[in-house]
A and B are shown apart, each in its own frame.
Chain A
Amino acid sequence: MKKVLAVLLAAFLLAGCGSSAAPAGQASSGEPVEIEFWLAQGNNVMDLVNEEIKNFNESQDQYHVTAVQQENYVKTFSNLQAAISGKVAPDVVLLDTAPARQLFEKKALVPFDEFQKADPDFNADDFYAVYADQGKYDDGTTFARPWYGTIQIAYYSVKAFEDAGVDPESIKSWQDLVAVGDKFKSAGYQYAWEPMGGDSKNLIDAAFANGAKVLSDDGKTVLINSPEWVEVWESIRTWIHVYVLIQTKWNGIDDWVYWYDTIDDVIEGRAAGYTGSPVDSVDFDFEVIRPMEQFGWNGNVSMPWAQALMLCMPAGNTEAEQQGAYEFIKFLTNPENQAAYTMLTTYPAANKKVTEVPEYKEFLEKNPVAAVLLSQSEHASIYPVDPTGGKILDELNIAAEKIEIEGVSAQEALDEAQANAQAALDEALAG
């Protein structure tokens, strides 16, 4: 009996070895290499992506791409971790910058450099630096290519500005806005502006315009209580709690209530404008609500935090699959497909050459948001890599709530945030 079992076991092991000899996903001769693409996008975007995939599959016969829709970015990341552990990772995946970088550090992503060198069509200058640089590691290795960006912009009520007799073109900085704040109040508007609540992003944007930095150049000191931060955040606290010129909605609700309430305040005439997402504009009548760049600070141009959504190539797949993944990413980020994506979603394209696409040129004339996004992408900031895994941003969020909701002084809130963030950074750097 034991002998029979031993033979069966040996046969089983041999069968296992045999099956592992052929790398997973490798196509047999004549068949296209299967490429799997994981992404979290809404159904309307998935329709576009599937159309683009169809075009890619029909444009050549070497690769066949299939999209797998994910629930959201966080879920994509957790599913990807399981897939990497199980050695069944997809060939292309759409990720936020931080997890993409994290995976690259774990050698779980394939660098783009060799593929780009071999690609005669690749030109690094085609991509907006603010998005492309987020896919580069400290040593210059490209671990991801941006598909699109996301950056907050300002929206104003045309009627509010007319009622107050304020020329929107004259508002370039927060100081410009505050200087005419009383005109809006006199015209019956409760608030001159509403930065978007929910997190500290808009306050960080304003601080970046004042030259504020999150970390020192050597990456060892948290600078979030520097005079540049305190000046901006204290001014905002004063405008909210002392002069009641601006307000930030916060109701803590785990949905988009505060977001829509903010927009409603502008549409229904309680506020003259707000700062929000490019996607908000999908439902806007531009005769009523118009976009503009975010405000600068004291003569400095605005430098809002620009985020990028990254196309990545997980490691562990065959060379043929990796080449197919690169070809597909190249296809997705070509000007025509970038134009189609940005025209559908309003998210800014990563490829500058999108402006050469005739359909997009036409779109630019009709959609002022697109033009604002292009100009805003030229002067925006990259939030630095946070070695603490997000604790610095978390401390900024807590400090922002203390300032915006509680009216705590910026110095006090930011000193506390800096102390906690510095402790977290020291610990992270100590390993």
Chain B
Amino acid sequence: MGNRVKYKRRYDRLPTVLLYILPAMIPLVVFWIYPILRTIFLSFTNWDYISPTYKIVGLKNYLSLFKNPRFFEALWHTLVFTMGTLFPTIIFGLILALLLVRAFRGSGVFKFILFSPWITPTVAISIVWSWIYKVDGGIANTILTGLGLEPLKWINSSETAMLSVIIVTVWKSLGYAMIFYLSALEKVPGALYEASALDGAGKWRQFIDITLPSISPTTFFLMIITMVNSLQAYDQIQILTQGGPAGSTRTLLYMYYQLGFNEYNMGQATGVAVIMIIITVILSLIQFRGSEKWVHY
């Protein structure tokens, strides 16, 4: 009897609850949940992007993808790009934040300069970097030869094209990571450092035992955001390499675009999109599980 009253009270409040969440739910359903469900549905069809009708083809699109060596190349490139951008962004973002956390004359200017790539459109950045990467007369090779090193072909070779795109992406994201770390570092209680200093801890020990654990929630947040951004990267690849040379920088998102809008194979394209969602979920879950051991709230 008591339970029934409790349930009744709970359901009595349901219309009010729905009313409150409705403004948020409408755009969420229209622009997020429905498109995702629709994408999943389309991945089981043979829709060609033109016909008003389509057939349900079951798992055919997925089986075709898994038989296609270009799909596995794109998957590998995606993982290389994601990992290649994730860790350098986190590590160098933290190093920059550590260098700039103590205010000094002009530190504000440095912070602004370092953050500015993040707010500059990727297309503009990519065009400038394409000049930097020019084999003859580009700044990158001028620096290398100035240091007595062999010039590289950068985006002109399948051996260095992915590295080139990763460098641009990391460079763009560094300022973003730095800003979050600056905020996190400023919130670490100074008393912890004082107490550890009294116990004889050096700077390195303080960094490992106090700083890193204290900023671990920020690190975790940045890892998730950077990973998702990397999986969604398209502009810089399209501008710098167009997936080349010889397909060496084609990622899953690039393949999705190519299948959907060049080949009008929307069934397989949405299949790639669903696989990307699954990869994102798996990588996030791994990070969430792992975070239980190293993130300290």
A53 vs B58: C-alpha distance when bound (angstroms): 49
Select which of B50, B68, B245 is within 8 A of A252 by beta carbon. Answer: B245
Check: B242 CB closer than 8 A to any chain A CB: yes
Q: Which residues from 397 to 431 on chain A have a C-beta closer than 8 Å to any C-beta of chain B?
A: 398-399, 401-402, 405-406, 408, 420, 423-424, 427
B296 to chain A, nearest CB (A): 44
Question: What is the 8 Å Cβ interface bit string for chain B, positions 93-121, against chain A (1 contact, 0 not)?
Answer: 00000000000000000000000000000
Select which of A85, A106, A108, A402 is within 8 A of B246 by beta carbon. Answer: A402
Q: Which residues from 44 to 68 on chain B have a C-beta closer than 8 Å to any C-beta of chain A?
A: 48-52, 64, 67-68
Contact present for A251 and B156 (CB under 8 Å) = yes
Q: Size range of the interface on A?
A: 20 to 34
Contact present for B134 and A406 (CB under 8 Å) = no
Question: What is the 8 Å Cβ interface bit string for chain B, positions 64-77, against chain A (1 contact, 0 not)?
Answer: 10011110000000
Check: A55 CB closer than 8 A to any chain B CB: no
A37 vs B67: C-alpha distance when bound (angstroms): 43
Check: A74 CB closer than 8 A to any chain B CB: yes
A7 — which chain B residues lie within 8 A by C-beta?
A: none
**Partner-binding segment picked from A284-292, A328-336, A388-396:** A388-396
B244 — which chain A residues lie within 8 A by C-beta?
A: 250, 252, 398, 401
Contact present for B261 and A388 (CB under 8 Å) = no
Q: Which residues from 55 to 92 on chain A have a C-beta closer than 8 Å to any C-beta of chain B?
A: 74, 78, 81, 84-85
Check: A271 CB closer than 8 A to any chain B CB: no
A354 vs B270: C-alpha distance when bound (angstroms): 47
B67 — which chain A residues lie within 8 A by C-beta?
A: 423
A405 — which chain B residues lie within 8 A by C-beta?
A: 156-158, 245-246
Check: B142 CB closer than 8 A to any chain A CB: no
Check: B247 CB closer than 8 A to any chain A CB: yes
Given A388-B263, A401-B245, A420-B70: A251 touches B155 (CB 8 Å cut-off) = yes
Contact present for A406 and B157 (CB under 8 Å) = yes
Select which of B52, B238, B246 is within 8 A of A406 by beta carbon. Answer: B246
A contacts with B: majority SS: helix
Check: A102 CB closer than 8 A to any chain B CB: yes
Q: Which residues from 211 to 250 on chain B have a C-beta closer than 8 Å to any C-beta of chain A?
A: 238-242, 244-247
Which 5 residue pairs spanning A and B have beta carbons closest together? Answer: A389-B263, A252-B241, A401-B246, A402-B246, A401-B245
A398 vs B243: C-alpha distance when bound (angstroms): 10
B49 — which chain A residues lie within 8 A by C-beta?
A: 81
Check: A362 CB closer than 8 A to any chain B CB: no
A183 to chain B, nearest CB (A): 25
Check: B258 CB closer than 8 A to any chain A CB: yes
Contact present for B239 and A81 (CB under 8 Å) = no
B239 — which chain A residues lie within 8 A by C-beta?
A: 253-254
Check: B166 CB closer than 8 A to any chain A CB: no
A361 to chain B, nearest CB (A): 41
Contact present for B240 and A252 (CB under 8 Å) = yes
Residue of chain B at shortest CB distance from A198: B242
Residue in A254, A255, A390, A424 whose Cβ sees the most chain B Cβ within 10 Å = A254
Q: Which residues from 149 to 178 on chain B have a C-beta closer than 8 Å to any C-beta of chain A?
A: 155-158, 161
A78 vs B239: C-alpha distance when bound (angstroms): 22
Could you jot down 5 A-B contacts, CB within 8 Å? A106-B51, A251-B130, A252-B242, A253-B242, A405-B158
A108 vs B50: C-alpha distance when bound (angstroms): 9
B50 — which chain A residues lie within 8 A by C-beta?
A: 81, 84, 102-103, 106, 108
B140 to chain A, nearest CB (A): 13
Count B interface residues, CB 8 Å.
33
A406 vs B248: C-alpha distance when bound (angstroms): 11
A9 — which chain B residues lie within 8 A by C-beta?
A: none
A154 vs B67: C-alpha distance when bound (angstroms): 41
Q: Which residues from 299 to 343 on chain A have a C-beta closer than 8 Å to any C-beta of chain B?
A: none
Given A103-B50, A423-B67: A253 touches B127 (CB 8 Å cut-off) = yes
Contact present for B134 and A251 (CB under 8 Å) = yes
Q: Which residues from 334 to 361 on chain A have a C-beta closer than 8 Å to any C-beta of chain B?
A: none
Residue of chain A at shortest CB distance from B249: A252
A1 vs B163: C-alpha distance when bound (angstroms): 69
Residue in B50, B156, B247, B263 whose Cβ sees the most chain A Cβ within 10 Å = B50
B48 — which chain A residues lie within 8 A by C-beta?
A: 102, 106
Check: B16 CB closer than 8 A to any chain A CB: no
A70 to chain B, nearest CB (A): 16
A391 — which chain B residues lie within 8 A by C-beta?
A: 263
A102 vs B265: C-alpha distance when bound (angstroms): 12
A74 — which chain B residues lie within 8 A by C-beta?
A: 261
Contact present for A254 and B238 (CB under 8 Å) = yes
A388 vs B48: C-alpha distance when bound (angstroms): 12
A255 vs B264: C-alpha distance when bound (angstroms): 23
Contact present for B246 and A398 (CB under 8 Å) = yes
Question: What is the 8 Å Cβ interface bit string for chain A, positions 244-264, against chain B (1 contact, 0 not)?
Answer: 000000111111010000000
Contact present for B242 and A254 (CB under 8 Å) = yes
A85 — which chain B residues lie within 8 A by C-beta?
A: 52
Given A252-B245, A401-B244, A405-B156: A423 touches B68 (CB 8 Å cut-off) = yes
A251 — which chain B residues lie within 8 A by C-beta?
A: 130, 134, 155-156
A423 vs B63: C-alpha distance when bound (angstroms): 13
Check: B262 CB closer than 8 A to any chain A CB: yes
Residue of chain A at shortest CB distance from B46: A431
